[in-house]
Each structure stands twice: as C-alpha cells, then as structure tokens.
Amino acid sequence: MEQTKFLLDEKEMPTAWYNIQMDLDRPLPPVIHPGTQQPISPADLAPLFPMELIMQEAAVGPYAARYIDIPEEVQEAYRLYRPTPLIRARRLEKALGTPAQIYFKYEGVSPVGSHKPNTAIPQAYYNKKQGTKRLATETGAGQWGSALAFACRLFDLECKVYMVNISYQQKPYRRILMETYGAQIVASPSNDTNAGRKFRTQDANHPGSLGLAISEAVEDAMTHQPDTKYSLGSVLNHVLMHQTVIGEEALKQMEKAGAYPDVVIGCVGGGSNFGGIALPFVREKIKNGKKTRIVAVEPTAAPSLTKGIYTYDFGDTAQTIPLVKMHTLGSSFIPAPIHAGGLRYHGVSPIISRLYDDGVIEATAVKQNAVFDAAVQFTRAEGILPAPESAHAIRVAIDEALRAKAAGENKVILFNLSGHGHFDLGGYQQYLNGELQDYEYPAEEVKKAVAALPQIA
C-alpha cells in the first residue's frame, strides 16, 4: 500500500527554533530610528515588545545562537495541534498526469486553521512572563488576529485587534471567531486612534491595508502604557524564527517519505509561513550544499518582491515605526481588495528580502483567478479547501508539476498549505460565479511611492 500521510510522534516535535541569522554571510542591515536616523537600541523597542522578544529579534545575549530552545510552556501549547501532517497529494498527481511527486505540509489542523499560532503562542507567553496585561495587533484576512486571540486566551491576556476594513466586511466569521476567543475587534481604519481617524476623514469607506492597521495597533500600544504591548504576526525576525517548526518537521517527514524536495514553495506576504517552511531548507542549501529551488509566490496585486525596491521603508502607513531594509512597494501602498487578505502588505521580511536579493530564493507573482482555479482543482482532487493565501503556493506547485510532466522529470515538489479556507467561501463563490477580478500593480506606482521615502545611507 502506498503511503499518503507522513506523521511524527509528539516526541519527535522540534524542541528548538532555528535562527537563520547565525548562518547569514553578513549581518542584516540595522533597523533605523525614524527620528534620529541612527540604528535603534533595545530601549527604543521596549515600549512595544517584551525584552526576550527584542533579544530574539536582534539575535543578542542568550539568543545569539543557531538554535533557540522552545520553552516547555510553549511546547505544551504546541501539542494541541503539532506535529502537523505531511501529505503526498497522490490524487492531484493523478489528475495532472504528472510523474512529479507533490507533498504538502498542512498547517490548517491548528485550532484556528492556520500556521499563525506557531508565533502567537510564544509571543503571548513572553509577554505574560514580563507582566503584560493586554496586546494590540492588526490582522488582514483574520488568520493572525484569530491566532493571537487564541493565544491570549491560553495565557489570560486581553486582546485588541485592528482588522483591515475590506477583510472585516468580506470575512465576518473570522471576526466572530476572534470575538468567541474573547478579543475586541474593530475595522481599520477606526475611530479609536489618531491614525485611523485621519484616514477615515479622507475616505469614510476606506478599504484599509495591513500597513494602516499596523499604525493603529502600534499607536494603541504606545498610548496604553505600561500594560499594553504590540504583537506582529509576520515580517520580524523572531516571528520567522518561531515559524521554523514547520520546516524542521517537514525535513524529518520528507526523510520518512524517502524523498528530498527539488522545489520548496510558499506564498509570501510579510513572510511568516514562507519563512517557516523555507528557512530550514535554506540552511540545508547554504550550509550543506543541497540544490533545492526555493520559490516565494505573491499576488500580482501586491508584488513586493517581483516589483518592489530593496530599500529602507517604514513598516506602517502612518510612518511611525522604525525603518527596516526590505523589498517594498512603498509604505503609502493601498492594495486592491483581493481575497488573499494576508498577502496585501507593502513589504517583505528583512530576512526574506536579503535571501531574495542574494539569489538564494526565487519569487514569482500570480493573478487572483489563476490562484482560485488552482485552489478548486486542488480541492476537487484532495478534498481540502485551501485559504486563498495558500492557494498561491498551490498554483505554482501545479505549474511546476506540469513542467515536470512536459519534460518527463520525476521532480519532488513540497509546498506549505498554511491554512484552510473555510472562512473564505465568499471568495470562492465569486470565483465560481465568474465575478473575480484580476489586479496588476503598476511598476510606475512603486517608483512614485518609494521616491517619497527617507534616504538612509
């Protein structure tokens, strides 16, 4: 009998996160204070984050190591859903008629249906440990907000979520899930912050963006000191490090499958799920000589890697938080209302940006209708309804499998299915009714947005 699922026992679950900063050939560019235009210090970040997360972000002190031990309290919470399964998509292979082997790591088995608790849990844990009472955050599609609401419930913290307005309208059930966990949710831009009120004055029906919701959440944290901290679900170094449990498990499971991927694929917005699956395989590539192609997939409506510029930019629309060097469309970018709300961000993680700039990873952008076409094809073959974000990776996995078919090559393809799409049925309905639009972000708009940014030497 051919094996389809490759499972790990709880005893095989990773007990350490992988810190890729220790394996880069040179340090990441410093984070810059927007006022002084000098590198920030831990004290500059202390109002926003607990000190242990700040040290993880900078890889200093006890966190200047390749592997960081996962606290037992975090491991205990992880055991609610980890290890997650690795599945060979045999029915999809048959439907495509491809000789390629297609595997996917399925993170949709978590309580909130996505990979996001992998970092929400440790962030809530470290905040609770330092005495934080309340966390403020943003969310696009609602997957991150749901994860932090869940994690705050585990560690008895209050949670305030600024949800991008277009997703607030498109995905009411994700909002209800967050409220069920006990979080307070408002549509962003909101009337609860100065940043939100400014943009609502300009447009009462403003669709919002992740950058704008970040501005609101940061302002909330700064104006509710000392009990409130800010929590971010993507982009930052410590977030990607927490997510590496995905790739570390996948390495063990691919070994059980008796195969090693020729191609590793993940969708990318800020970079959390892509980093989670990719970074352990990047380690094997740069340290152990593996030849794996590692492909980041983004929407043509928010093509930060494929059309963005590698430069210093603000992480938020109101331009209040520190500047980081990343591939960016400009912090003033307001994305089209695509259904992959988790990918509607103007920038990409500094780590992912560096790896792309150095040619270690690849990137491609795909259109919304092609993404949903792949999602439906996958659902009809494998029975799992993917989140629109994850379906970007499915699109490229199918394309790779078809290229292998044309070439007669037995390629091994691995992609991260970072979440299910049970709360995304509105998008599927539009697709099935032929009502979805494709959006292409023009390169000239990037030039205009980036021209207004501060010039950092």
pLDDT for residue 90: 98
For 93, half-sphere exposure in the C-beta direction (CA atoms, 13 angstrom radius) is 17
Q: What residue type is 227 in one-letter code?
A: D
pLDDT for residue 80: 98
Q: How far apart are CA 234 and CA 138, in angstroms?
A: 11
pLDDT for residue 192: 96
The lowest-confidence range among 250-254, 268-272, 448-452 is: 448-452
Q: How confident is the model at residue 19 (pLDDT cuts 50, 70, 90)?
A: very high
**Contacts with 17 (C-beta within 8 Å, 6 or more apart), sequence order:** 67, 68, 70, 241, 242, 244, 245
The answer to whether 327 touches 356, Cβ cutoff 8 Å, is yes
Asked whether residue 255 is assigned to any structural domain, the reply reads: yes
Look at residues 136, 140, 134 and name the one whose alpha carbon lies nearest to residue 156. Answer: 134
Asked whether residue 395 is assigned to any structural domain, the reply reads: yes
Asked whether residue 22 is assigned to any structural domain, the reply reads: no
Residue 339: give its domain's CATH number.
3.40.50.1100
pLDDT for residue 71: 98
pLDDT for residue 338: 76
Chain segment 219-246, per-residue pLDDT in tens: 999 999 999 999 999 999 999 999 999 9
Cα 120 to Cα 178, 240, 272, 451, distances in angstroms: 13, 11, 11, 35
Look at residues 266, 249, 254 and name the one whose alpha carbon lies nearest to residue 101. Answer: 254
Asked whether residue 282 is assigned to any structural domain, the reply reads: yes
Number of domains composing the chain: 1
Chain segment 426-441, per-residue pLDDT in tens: 999 999 999 999 998 8
Chain segment 399-417, per-residue pLDDT in tens: 999 999 999 999 999 999 9
The answer to whether 145 touches 178, Cβ cutoff 8 Å, is yes
How many beta carbons lie within 10 A of that of residue 227, not counting itself? 12
Which of 16-20, 136-140, 299-303 is modeled with the greatest confidence?
16-20
Q: Is the pLDDT of residue 110 over 80?
A: yes
Q: How far apart are CA 125 and CA 56, in angstroms?
A: 14
Chain segment 330-379, per-residue pLDDT in tens: 888 877 777 776 787 889 999 999 999 999 999 999 999 999 999 999 99
pLDDT for residue 57: 96
Helix (H, G, I), strand (E, B) or coil at 339: coil
Asked whether residue 97 is assigned to any structural domain, the reply reads: yes
Mean pLDDT value across residues 377-396: 97
Look at residues 367, 301, 298 and name the one whose alpha carbon lies nearest to residue 334. Answer: 301
330, two tokens: 């400009």
Cα 451 to Cα 239, 332, 446, distances in angstroms: 29, 11, 8
Residue 368 C-alpha from the chain's centroid: 18
411, two tokens: 């390629």
> Which residue has tokens 């790990």?
8
Q: How far apart are CA 238 and CA 10, in angstroms?
A: 24
Chain segment 179-215, per-residue pLDDT in tens: 999 999 999 999 999 999 999 999 888 988 888 999 9
Asked whether residue 120 is assigned to any structural domain, the reply reads: no
Share of the chain above pLDDT 90, in %: 83
**Contacts with 57 (C-beta within 8 Å, 6 or more apart), sequence order:** 45, 49, 236, 237, 238
pLDDT for residue 58: 94
Residue 291, domain extent: 75-113+238-451
User: What's the predicted TM-score (pTM) here?
Assistant: 0.96
Share of the chain above pLDDT 70, in %: 99
pLDDT for residue 457: 63
Q: Is the pLDDT of residue 72 over 80?
A: yes
Q: What residue type is 347 in one-letter code?
A: G
